[in-house]
Structure 1
Amino acid sequence: MILRNLLSIPRSLLFYAAFYGGSVFFVLGSLALMALWRDGFRAVVRGWGGWHRLCARVLLGIRVELENPVFKPGVLYAIRHEAFFEAIDLPWLFRLPVVFAKAELMSIPGWGLAGRNYGLISVEREAGARALRTMLTEARRLIAEGRPLIIFPEGTRVPHGQRRALQAGFAGIYKLLGLPVIPVAVDSGPLYHRTWKQPGIIRYRFAEEIPPGLKREEIEARVEAAINALNA
Protein backbone atom coordinates (compact mmCIF):
# COMPACT_ATOMS: atom_id res chain seq x y z
CA MET A 1 0.00 0.00 0.00
CA ILE A 2 2.83 2.41 0.84
CA LEU A 3 4.60 1.64 -2.45
CA ARG A 4 1.33 2.06 -4.34
CA ASN A 5 0.78 5.47 -2.75
CA LEU A 6 4.33 6.56 -3.56
CA LEU A 7 4.02 5.44 -7.18
CA SER A 8 0.80 7.42 -7.52
CA ILE A 9 2.74 10.69 -7.29
CA PRO A 10 4.94 10.36 -10.42
CA ARG A 11 2.09 8.64 -12.29
CA SER A 12 -0.26 11.51 -11.49
CA LEU A 13 2.31 14.11 -12.49
CA LEU A 14 2.82 12.37 -15.82
CA PHE A 15 -0.95 12.21 -16.28
CA TYR A 16 -1.40 15.93 -15.60
CA ALA A 17 1.36 16.83 -18.03
CA ALA A 18 0.13 14.51 -20.79
CA PHE A 19 -3.60 15.05 -20.52
CA TYR A 20 -3.72 18.79 -19.91
CA GLY A 21 -0.82 19.46 -22.27
CA GLY A 22 -2.56 17.46 -24.98
CA SER A 23 -5.88 19.17 -24.22
CA VAL A 24 -4.43 22.45 -25.50
CA PHE A 25 -4.06 20.95 -28.97
CA PHE A 26 -7.56 19.43 -28.87
CA VAL A 27 -9.08 22.79 -27.92
CA LEU A 28 -7.13 24.58 -30.65
CA GLY A 29 -8.10 21.93 -33.17
CA SER A 30 -11.77 22.16 -32.25
CA LEU A 31 -11.75 25.95 -32.55
CA ALA A 32 -10.10 25.73 -35.97
CA LEU A 33 -12.72 23.29 -37.27
CA MET A 34 -15.79 24.63 -35.48
CA ALA A 35 -17.08 26.87 -38.26
CA LEU A 36 -15.60 24.93 -41.18
CA TRP A 37 -16.27 21.22 -40.69
CA ARG A 38 -18.91 20.13 -38.18
CA ASP A 39 -18.13 16.42 -38.31
CA GLY A 40 -14.41 17.09 -37.91
CA PHE A 41 -15.11 19.41 -34.97
CA ARG A 42 -17.22 16.75 -33.26
CA ALA A 43 -14.57 14.12 -33.92
CA VAL A 44 -11.95 16.28 -32.20
CA VAL A 45 -14.20 16.68 -29.14
CA ARG A 46 -14.76 12.92 -29.01
CA GLY A 47 -11.02 12.44 -29.47
CA TRP A 48 -10.40 14.62 -26.42
CA GLY A 49 -12.52 12.25 -24.33
CA GLY A 50 -10.62 9.31 -25.83
CA TRP A 51 -7.29 10.98 -25.04
CA HIS A 52 -8.38 11.34 -21.42
CA ARG A 53 -9.44 7.68 -21.25
CA LEU A 54 -6.09 6.61 -22.78
CA CYS A 55 -4.04 8.73 -20.38
CA ALA A 56 -6.00 7.38 -17.43
CA ARG A 57 -5.46 3.78 -18.58
CA VAL A 58 -1.78 3.98 -19.50
CA LEU A 59 -0.46 6.50 -16.98
CA LEU A 60 -2.77 6.03 -14.00
CA GLY A 61 -3.68 2.37 -14.39
CA ILE A 62 -7.41 3.18 -14.33
CA ARG A 63 -9.68 0.88 -16.32
CA VAL A 64 -13.36 1.42 -17.04
CA GLU A 65 -16.10 -1.19 -16.80
CA LEU A 66 -19.71 -0.80 -17.95
CA GLU A 67 -22.50 -2.76 -16.26
CA ASN A 68 -25.72 -3.22 -18.26
CA PRO A 69 -24.93 -0.35 -20.66
CA VAL A 70 -27.83 1.14 -22.60
CA PHE A 71 -27.17 3.78 -25.25
CA LYS A 72 -30.17 5.28 -27.01
CA PRO A 73 -31.45 8.68 -28.16
CA GLY A 74 -34.43 10.47 -26.66
CA VAL A 75 -33.41 9.65 -23.09
CA LEU A 76 -32.34 11.75 -20.13
CA TYR A 77 -29.32 10.12 -18.48
CA ALA A 78 -29.00 11.08 -14.80
CA ILE A 79 -25.41 10.37 -13.71
CA ARG A 80 -23.84 10.32 -10.26
CA HIS A 81 -21.03 12.90 -10.04
CA GLU A 82 -18.00 12.07 -7.87
CA ALA A 83 -15.05 13.43 -9.87
CA PHE A 84 -14.08 15.25 -13.03
CA PHE A 85 -13.51 11.83 -14.59
CA GLU A 86 -17.09 11.19 -15.70
CA ALA A 87 -17.56 14.77 -16.93
CA ILE A 88 -14.49 14.57 -19.20
CA ASP A 89 -15.39 11.01 -20.23
CA LEU A 90 -18.84 11.88 -21.60
CA PRO A 91 -17.87 12.58 -25.27
CA TRP A 92 -16.17 9.18 -25.38
CA LEU A 93 -18.78 7.23 -23.41
CA PHE A 94 -21.78 8.55 -25.37
CA ARG A 95 -22.36 9.45 -29.00
CA LEU A 96 -22.70 13.24 -29.27
CA PRO A 97 -24.07 13.84 -25.77
CA VAL A 98 -25.97 17.02 -24.94
CA VAL A 99 -24.92 17.99 -21.42
CA PHE A 100 -26.40 20.32 -18.84
CA ALA A 101 -23.32 22.08 -17.45
CA LYS A 102 -22.80 24.87 -14.95
CA ALA A 103 -22.48 28.30 -16.50
CA GLU A 104 -19.00 28.89 -15.03
CA LEU A 105 -17.53 26.36 -17.45
CA MET A 106 -18.57 28.49 -20.40
CA SER A 107 -16.18 31.23 -19.31
CA ILE A 108 -13.08 29.03 -19.78
CA PRO A 109 -11.17 30.61 -22.71
CA GLY A 110 -11.51 28.58 -25.88
CA TRP A 111 -12.92 25.53 -24.12
CA GLY A 112 -16.19 27.27 -23.25
CA LEU A 113 -16.79 28.38 -26.83
CA ALA A 114 -16.11 24.89 -28.12
CA GLY A 115 -18.38 23.42 -25.44
CA ARG A 116 -21.31 25.65 -26.34
CA ASN A 117 -20.97 24.77 -30.03
CA TYR A 118 -20.72 21.07 -29.27
CA GLY A 119 -23.88 20.92 -27.17
CA LEU A 120 -23.27 22.03 -23.60
CA ILE A 121 -26.37 23.70 -22.20
CA SER A 122 -25.48 26.44 -19.74
CA VAL A 123 -27.26 26.12 -16.39
CA GLU A 124 -27.74 29.40 -14.54
CA ARG A 125 -28.57 28.23 -11.04
CA GLU A 126 -30.14 31.53 -10.02
CA ALA A 127 -31.86 32.15 -13.35
CA GLY A 128 -35.60 32.69 -13.64
CA ALA A 129 -38.35 31.13 -15.72
CA ARG A 130 -37.31 32.87 -18.93
CA ALA A 131 -33.79 31.42 -18.79
CA LEU A 132 -35.24 27.98 -18.03
CA ARG A 133 -37.48 28.15 -21.12
CA THR A 134 -34.49 29.10 -23.26
CA MET A 135 -32.48 26.21 -21.82
CA LEU A 136 -35.26 23.69 -22.48
CA THR A 137 -35.84 24.98 -26.01
CA GLU A 138 -32.16 24.40 -26.76
CA ALA A 139 -32.32 20.93 -25.22
CA ARG A 140 -35.32 19.97 -27.36
CA ARG A 141 -33.60 21.23 -30.50
CA LEU A 142 -30.50 19.16 -29.85
CA ILE A 143 -32.19 15.93 -28.79
CA ALA A 144 -34.35 16.16 -31.92
CA GLU A 145 -31.11 15.37 -33.75
CA GLY A 146 -31.09 11.98 -32.03
CA ARG A 147 -28.58 12.93 -29.33
CA PRO A 148 -28.76 11.70 -25.72
CA LEU A 149 -29.31 14.23 -22.94
CA ILE A 150 -27.08 14.13 -19.85
CA ILE A 151 -27.55 15.69 -16.42
CA PHE A 152 -25.73 15.44 -13.10
CA PRO A 153 -28.83 15.70 -10.87
CA GLU A 154 -26.88 16.37 -7.66
CA GLY A 155 -25.64 19.60 -9.26
CA THR A 156 -22.03 19.24 -8.11
CA ARG A 157 -19.42 16.65 -7.20
CA VAL A 158 -20.30 14.62 -4.11
CA PRO A 159 -17.56 12.65 -2.32
CA HIS A 160 -17.80 8.86 -2.46
CA GLY A 161 -19.64 7.53 0.56
CA GLN A 162 -21.80 10.64 0.87
CA ARG A 163 -25.23 11.47 -0.48
CA ARG A 164 -26.74 14.76 -1.48
CA ALA A 165 -30.36 15.58 -2.25
CA LEU A 166 -31.03 16.07 -5.94
CA GLN A 167 -31.25 19.63 -7.17
CA ALA A 168 -34.84 20.86 -7.50
CA GLY A 169 -34.25 21.67 -11.17
CA PHE A 170 -33.86 18.00 -12.07
CA ALA A 171 -37.52 17.13 -11.44
CA GLY A 172 -38.58 20.25 -13.37
CA ILE A 173 -36.48 19.30 -16.39
CA TYR A 174 -37.80 15.73 -16.25
CA LYS A 175 -41.40 16.96 -16.14
CA LEU A 176 -41.12 19.64 -18.82
CA LEU A 177 -39.16 17.55 -21.31
CA GLY A 178 -41.30 14.45 -20.81
CA LEU A 179 -38.40 12.06 -21.38
CA PRO A 180 -37.68 8.68 -19.81
CA VAL A 181 -34.69 8.61 -17.46
CA ILE A 182 -31.83 6.14 -17.24
CA PRO A 183 -29.92 6.62 -13.95
CA VAL A 184 -26.21 5.79 -14.02
CA ALA A 185 -24.13 5.08 -10.94
CA VAL A 186 -20.37 5.68 -11.02
CA ASP A 187 -17.66 5.13 -8.42
CA SER A 188 -14.83 7.35 -9.68
CA GLY A 189 -14.27 9.20 -6.41
CA PRO A 190 -11.86 6.85 -4.56
CA LEU A 191 -9.48 6.65 -7.53
CA TYR A 192 -9.79 9.99 -9.31
CA HIS A 193 -11.08 12.65 -6.92
CA ARG A 194 -7.71 13.29 -5.28
CA THR A 195 -4.46 15.01 -6.17
CA TRP A 196 -2.50 11.76 -6.37
CA LYS A 197 -4.77 9.44 -8.31
CA GLN A 198 -4.88 5.69 -7.75
CA PRO A 199 -4.99 2.72 -10.16
CA GLY A 200 -8.04 0.50 -10.27
CA ILE A 201 -11.43 0.10 -11.93
CA ILE A 202 -14.06 2.80 -12.37
CA ARG A 203 -17.48 1.33 -12.98
CA TYR A 204 -20.57 2.76 -14.63
CA ARG A 205 -23.75 0.91 -13.67
CA PHE A 206 -26.79 1.64 -15.86
CA ALA A 207 -30.11 1.18 -14.08
CA GLU A 208 -33.48 0.29 -15.59
CA GLU A 209 -35.21 2.97 -17.62
CA ILE A 210 -37.74 5.05 -15.66
CA PRO A 211 -40.79 6.21 -17.63
CA PRO A 212 -41.84 9.87 -17.92
CA GLY A 213 -44.77 11.33 -16.03
CA LEU A 214 -43.99 10.29 -12.46
CA LYS A 215 -44.58 12.59 -9.53
CA ARG A 216 -41.63 14.56 -8.22
CA GLU A 217 -41.22 12.55 -5.03
CA GLU A 218 -41.16 9.26 -6.90
CA ILE A 219 -38.77 10.23 -9.69
CA GLU A 220 -36.35 11.82 -7.22
CA ALA A 221 -36.43 8.80 -4.91
CA ARG A 222 -35.89 6.31 -7.73
CA VAL A 223 -33.07 8.27 -9.35
CA GLU A 224 -31.32 8.97 -6.06
CA ALA A 225 -31.38 5.29 -5.11
CA ALA A 226 -30.12 4.17 -8.52
CA ILE A 227 -27.23 6.63 -8.91
CA ASN A 228 -26.00 5.71 -5.41
CA ALA A 229 -25.91 1.98 -6.12
CA LEU A 230 -22.07 2.00 -6.12
CA ASN A 231 -21.71 4.61 -3.38
CA ALA A 232 -20.58 2.39 -0.51
Structure 2
Amino acid sequence: MRTGWQWLKSLLFSGIIYAAMVPYGLWYLPAALRSRDGAVAACRGWSRFVLRLADLMLGLRSEVRGTPPDGACLIASKHQSFLDIIMLYAALPRGKFIMKKELTRAPILGWFALRIGCIPVDRGRRAQAIKKMIADVNAGRADPGQLIIYPQGTRLAPGEKAPYKIGTSVLYGELGQDCVPVACNVGLFWPRRGILRRPGTAVIEFLPRIPAGMAAAPFMALIESEIEANSDRLMAEAGFPLVAPPREA
Protein backbone atom coordinates (compact mmCIF):
# COMPACT_ATOMS: atom_id res chain seq x y z
CA MET A 1 0.00 0.00 0.00
CA ARG A 2 2.83 2.37 0.92
CA THR A 3 4.62 1.71 -2.39
CA GLY A 4 1.36 2.28 -4.29
CA TRP A 5 0.87 5.65 -2.59
CA GLN A 6 4.48 6.65 -3.37
CA TRP A 7 3.91 5.65 -7.00
CA LEU A 8 0.79 7.84 -7.22
CA LYS A 9 2.65 10.79 -5.70
CA SER A 10 5.50 10.17 -8.14
CA LEU A 11 3.09 10.23 -11.06
CA LEU A 12 1.60 13.52 -9.89
CA PHE A 13 5.07 14.93 -9.29
CA SER A 14 6.17 14.02 -12.83
CA GLY A 15 3.09 15.68 -14.31
CA ILE A 16 3.69 18.86 -12.33
CA ILE A 17 7.37 19.29 -13.15
CA TYR A 18 6.93 18.76 -16.88
CA ALA A 19 3.84 20.98 -16.99
CA ALA A 20 5.82 23.65 -15.11
CA MET A 21 8.21 23.95 -18.05
CA VAL A 22 5.49 25.87 -19.90
CA PRO A 23 4.99 28.76 -17.42
CA TYR A 24 8.73 28.92 -16.68
CA GLY A 25 9.49 29.00 -20.41
CA LEU A 26 6.90 31.68 -21.13
CA TRP A 27 7.80 33.84 -18.14
CA TYR A 28 11.50 33.86 -18.96
CA LEU A 29 11.14 33.90 -22.75
CA PRO A 30 11.59 37.69 -23.22
CA ALA A 31 14.74 37.65 -21.09
CA ALA A 32 16.00 34.49 -22.83
CA LEU A 33 15.52 36.10 -26.24
CA ARG A 34 17.51 39.14 -25.12
CA SER A 35 20.46 37.23 -23.69
CA ARG A 36 21.71 33.83 -22.66
CA ASP A 37 21.52 34.97 -19.04
CA GLY A 38 17.72 34.87 -19.24
CA ALA A 39 17.77 31.26 -20.44
CA VAL A 40 20.22 30.31 -17.69
CA ALA A 41 17.92 31.90 -15.07
CA ALA A 42 14.94 29.95 -16.44
CA CYS A 43 16.71 26.59 -16.36
CA ARG A 44 18.23 27.12 -12.93
CA GLY A 45 14.91 28.34 -11.55
CA TRP A 46 13.05 25.30 -12.89
CA SER A 47 15.77 22.92 -11.63
CA ARG A 48 15.57 24.34 -8.11
CA PHE A 49 11.78 24.17 -8.21
CA VAL A 50 11.98 20.45 -9.08
CA LEU A 51 14.37 19.76 -6.20
CA ARG A 52 12.19 21.61 -3.68
CA LEU A 53 9.06 19.85 -4.89
CA ALA A 54 10.74 16.43 -4.75
CA ASP A 55 11.58 17.07 -1.09
CA LEU A 56 8.08 18.31 -0.21
CA MET A 57 6.04 15.75 -2.16
CA LEU A 58 8.20 12.66 -2.18
CA GLY A 59 10.61 12.91 0.72
CA LEU A 60 13.42 12.91 -1.84
CA ARG A 61 16.08 15.29 -0.59
CA SER A 62 19.10 16.43 -2.58
CA GLU A 63 22.60 16.99 -1.27
CA VAL A 64 25.61 18.49 -3.01
CA ARG A 65 29.01 17.55 -1.60
CA GLY A 66 32.32 19.10 -2.48
CA THR A 67 32.72 22.53 -4.02
CA PRO A 68 31.00 23.28 -7.35
CA PRO A 69 33.50 25.10 -9.57
CA ASP A 70 32.66 28.64 -10.64
CA GLY A 71 35.23 29.12 -13.39
CA ALA A 72 35.57 27.59 -16.84
CA CYS A 73 36.31 23.86 -16.64
CA LEU A 74 35.25 20.43 -17.83
CA ILE A 75 32.85 18.44 -15.65
CA ALA A 76 32.96 14.64 -16.11
CA SER A 77 30.00 13.12 -14.30
CA LYS A 78 28.39 9.78 -13.53
CA HIS A 79 24.96 9.63 -15.18
CA GLN A 80 22.18 7.56 -13.61
CA SER A 81 18.98 9.52 -14.30
CA PHE A 82 17.43 12.88 -15.15
CA LEU A 83 17.96 13.86 -11.51
CA ASP A 84 21.74 14.19 -11.80
CA ILE A 85 21.21 16.58 -14.73
CA ILE A 86 18.87 18.71 -12.61
CA MET A 87 21.16 18.68 -9.58
CA LEU A 88 24.25 19.57 -11.60
CA TYR A 89 22.54 22.45 -13.32
CA ALA A 90 21.13 23.80 -10.05
CA ALA A 91 24.58 23.65 -8.42
CA LEU A 92 26.71 25.18 -11.21
CA PRO A 93 26.69 28.88 -12.08
CA ARG A 94 27.08 28.42 -15.84
CA GLY A 95 26.62 24.77 -16.75
CA LYS A 96 26.14 23.50 -20.28
CA PHE A 97 25.90 19.90 -21.43
CA ILE A 98 27.17 17.69 -24.19
CA MET A 99 23.76 16.22 -25.06
CA LYS A 100 22.08 13.80 -27.43
CA LYS A 101 21.04 15.51 -30.65
CA GLU A 102 17.48 14.15 -30.51
CA LEU A 103 16.84 16.08 -27.27
CA THR A 104 17.01 19.34 -29.18
CA ARG A 105 13.66 18.42 -30.74
CA ALA A 106 11.91 18.31 -27.36
CA PRO A 107 9.39 21.16 -26.96
CA ILE A 108 10.67 24.03 -24.78
CA LEU A 109 13.47 21.91 -23.30
CA GLY A 110 15.31 21.66 -26.62
CA TRP A 111 15.27 25.39 -27.37
CA PHE A 112 16.36 26.39 -23.88
CA ALA A 113 19.11 23.76 -23.91
CA LEU A 114 20.58 25.25 -27.08
CA ARG A 115 20.13 28.76 -25.71
CA ILE A 116 22.19 28.04 -22.59
CA GLY A 117 25.01 26.69 -24.76
CA CYS A 118 24.47 22.92 -24.73
CA ILE A 119 26.21 21.07 -27.55
CA PRO A 120 24.19 18.40 -29.40
CA VAL A 121 26.02 15.28 -30.56
CA ASP A 122 24.90 12.58 -32.99
CA ARG A 123 26.00 9.44 -31.16
CA GLY A 124 25.50 7.23 -34.20
CA ARG A 125 28.44 8.77 -36.08
CA ARG A 126 31.30 8.72 -33.67
CA ALA A 127 34.16 10.24 -35.72
CA GLN A 128 32.01 13.00 -37.21
CA ALA A 129 30.38 13.59 -33.83
CA ILE A 130 33.71 14.19 -32.11
CA LYS A 131 34.87 16.59 -34.86
CA LYS A 132 31.62 18.56 -34.68
CA MET A 133 31.71 18.56 -30.88
CA ILE A 134 35.20 20.09 -30.91
CA ALA A 135 34.15 22.70 -33.47
CA ASP A 136 31.08 23.62 -31.42
CA VAL A 137 33.10 23.79 -28.21
CA ASN A 138 35.62 26.12 -29.86
CA ALA A 139 32.78 28.26 -31.22
CA GLY A 140 31.36 28.53 -27.70
CA ARG A 141 34.55 29.75 -26.03
CA ALA A 142 33.16 33.31 -26.04
CA ASP A 143 30.65 32.18 -23.41
CA PRO A 144 32.81 30.32 -20.88
CA GLY A 145 31.30 28.09 -18.25
CA GLN A 146 31.29 24.57 -16.95
CA LEU A 147 31.01 22.10 -19.83
CA ILE A 148 29.39 18.87 -18.59
CA ILE A 149 30.02 15.55 -20.28
CA TYR A 150 28.93 12.04 -19.29
CA PRO A 151 32.00 9.90 -20.09
CA GLN A 152 29.98 6.68 -20.42
CA GLY A 153 27.64 8.40 -22.87
CA THR A 154 24.34 7.22 -21.40
CA ARG A 155 22.35 6.69 -18.20
CA LEU A 156 23.29 3.57 -16.29
CA ALA A 157 21.36 1.87 -13.50
CA PRO A 158 23.13 1.57 -10.13
CA GLY A 159 25.70 -1.22 -10.32
CA GLU A 160 25.65 -1.35 -14.14
CA LYS A 161 29.01 -0.91 -15.85
CA ALA A 162 29.98 0.52 -19.25
CA PRO A 163 33.29 1.69 -20.76
CA TYR A 164 34.41 5.31 -20.54
CA LYS A 165 34.54 6.87 -24.01
CA ILE A 166 37.49 8.64 -25.55
CA GLY A 167 35.52 11.81 -26.34
CA THR A 168 36.05 12.99 -22.77
CA SER A 169 39.85 12.96 -23.12
CA VAL A 170 39.58 14.65 -26.53
CA LEU A 171 37.60 17.49 -24.96
CA TYR A 172 39.96 17.68 -21.99
CA GLY A 173 42.97 18.03 -24.30
CA GLU A 174 41.24 20.45 -26.65
CA LEU A 175 39.97 22.77 -23.94
CA GLY A 176 43.21 22.84 -21.98
CA GLN A 177 41.14 23.26 -18.82
CA ASP A 178 41.01 21.46 -15.48
CA CYS A 179 38.50 18.63 -15.14
CA VAL A 180 36.24 18.13 -12.12
CA PRO A 181 34.89 14.57 -11.79
CA VAL A 182 31.44 14.08 -10.23
CA ALA A 183 30.10 10.97 -8.48
CA CYS A 184 26.46 10.29 -7.61
CA ASN A 185 23.94 7.85 -6.20
CA VAL A 186 20.77 9.41 -7.65
CA GLY A 187 19.65 6.34 -9.60
CA LEU A 188 18.75 4.63 -6.32
CA PHE A 189 15.91 7.11 -5.82
CA TRP A 190 15.05 8.42 -9.31
CA PRO A 191 15.65 5.56 -11.74
CA ARG A 192 16.45 6.03 -15.41
CA ARG A 193 13.10 4.47 -16.35
CA GLY A 194 9.71 4.21 -14.69
CA ILE A 195 7.53 6.48 -12.58
CA LEU A 196 8.37 5.56 -8.97
CA ARG A 197 10.60 8.04 -7.14
CA ARG A 198 11.79 6.77 -3.75
CA PRO A 199 12.34 8.84 -0.58
CA GLY A 200 15.88 9.30 0.65
CA THR A 201 18.88 11.55 0.05
CA ALA A 202 20.19 11.80 -3.50
CA VAL A 203 23.80 12.95 -3.57
CA ILE A 204 26.12 14.37 -6.18
CA GLU A 205 29.71 14.93 -5.11
CA PHE A 206 32.26 17.19 -6.79
CA LEU A 207 35.59 15.37 -6.49
CA PRO A 208 39.13 16.80 -6.42
CA ARG A 209 40.05 18.80 -9.49
CA ILE A 210 42.31 17.18 -12.09
CA PRO A 211 44.73 19.77 -13.51
CA ALA A 212 44.94 20.35 -17.25
CA GLY A 213 47.73 18.75 -19.24
CA MET A 214 47.60 15.03 -18.42
CA ALA A 215 48.12 12.54 -21.23
CA ALA A 216 44.97 10.86 -22.52
CA ALA A 217 45.47 7.33 -21.15
CA PRO A 218 46.30 8.24 -17.53
CA PHE A 219 43.58 10.91 -17.55
CA MET A 220 40.93 8.41 -18.62
CA ALA A 221 42.13 5.85 -16.07
CA LEU A 222 42.02 8.48 -13.33
CA ILE A 223 38.53 9.81 -14.00
CA GLU A 224 37.12 6.30 -14.30
CA SER A 225 38.64 5.15 -11.02
CA GLU A 226 37.60 8.34 -9.20
CA ILE A 227 34.02 8.45 -10.49
CA GLU A 228 33.32 4.73 -10.13
CA ALA A 229 34.89 4.27 -6.69
CA ASN A 230 33.17 7.33 -5.25
CA SER A 231 29.80 6.55 -6.84
CA ASP A 232 30.04 3.06 -5.34
CA ARG A 233 30.83 4.63 -1.96
CA LEU A 234 27.81 6.95 -2.15
CA MET A 235 25.53 4.07 -3.14
CA ALA A 236 26.87 1.89 -0.35
CA GLU A 237 26.17 4.70 2.13
CA ALA A 238 22.57 4.67 0.91
CA GLY A 239 22.32 0.92 1.46
CA PHE A 240 22.83 -0.35 -2.09
CA PRO A 241 24.40 -3.84 -2.01
CA LEU A 242 27.46 -3.60 -4.24
CA VAL A 243 28.70 -6.89 -5.68
CA ALA A 244 32.41 -7.50 -5.19
CA PRO A 245 34.34 -8.59 -8.31
CA PRO A 246 35.25 -12.31 -8.42
CA ARG A 247 38.64 -13.23 -7.04
CA GLU A 248 41.30 -14.42 -9.40
CA ALA A 249 42.27 -18.09 -9.05
Q: Is TM > 0.5 for Structure 1 vs Structure 2? A: yes
Matched residues in 2 for 1:37 and 1:219: separation?
A: 36
RMSD of equivalent CA atoms:
2.1
Deviation, 1:76, is 0.6
Residue identity matched to 2:222: R
| Preserved contact between residue 143 and residue 149 of structure 1 (Cα < 8 Å) | no
* Map of 1:173 onto structure 2: 171
Residue identity matched to 2:50: H
| 1:97-151 residue CA offsets vs partner (Å, 9 max, x unmatched) | 1211111111112321221111111112244766544433432454554411111
Secondary structure of 1:34 counterpart: helix
Deviation, 1:38, is 4.3
| 1:182-214 residue CA offsets vs partner (Å, 9 max, x unmatched) | 111010011000421100001112211112222
Secondary structure of 1:230 counterpart: helix
Change (3 A) 1:68 1:37: closer
Matched residues in 2 for 1:36 and 1:75: separation?
A: 26
Select the residue among 21, 34, 38 that pairs with 1:23.
21
* Map of 2:197 onto structure 1: 197
How many residue pairs get aligned? The number is: 230
Residue identity matched to 2:98: F
| Preserved contact between residue 8 and residue 196 of structure 1 (Cα < 8 Å) | yes
* Map of 2:231 onto structure 1: 230
| Higher RCO (CA 8 Å, separation ≥ 6 residues) | 1
TM score, norm. by length of structure 1: 0.89
Residue identity matched to 2:18: Y
* Map of 1:110 onto structure 2: 108
Matched residues in 1 for 2:123 and 2:177: separation?
A: 22
Matched residues in 2 for 1:101 and 1:143: separation?
A: 17
Select the residue among 50, 62, 65 that pairs with 1:64.
62
Q: Which 5+ residue runs of structure 1 have no aligned equivalent?
A: none
* Map of 1:91 onto structure 2: 89
* Map of 1:209 onto structure 2: 209
Secondary structure of 1:227 counterpart: helix
Secondary structure of 2:107 counterpart: coil
Change (3 A) 1:33 1:165: same
Secondary structure of 2:209 counterpart: coil
Secondary structure of 2:174 counterpart: helix
Matched residues in 2 for 1:216 and 1:41: separation?
A: 34
Q: Which 5+ residue runs of structure 2 have no aligned equivalent?
A: 233-241, 243-249
* Map of 2:6 onto structure 1: 8
| Preserved contact between residue 26 and residue 48 of structure 1 (Cα < 8 Å) | yes
Matched residues in 2 for 1:37 and 1:169: separation?
A: 30
| 1:160-193 residue CA offsets vs partner (Å, 9 max, x unmatched) | 0122111221121112222211111010011000
* Map of 2:42 onto structure 1: 44
Select the residue among 53, 76, 79 that pairs with 1:78.
76
| Preserved contact between residue 18 and residue 55 of structure 1 (Cα < 8 Å) | no
Matched residues in 2 for 1:157 and 1:86: separation?
A: 10
1:144-155 to 2 correspondences below 5 Å: 144-155=142-153
Between stretches 40-49 and 130-139, larger displacement belongs to 130-139
Matched residues in 1 for 2:19 and 2:91: separation?
A: 22
Percent identical among aligned pairs is: 28
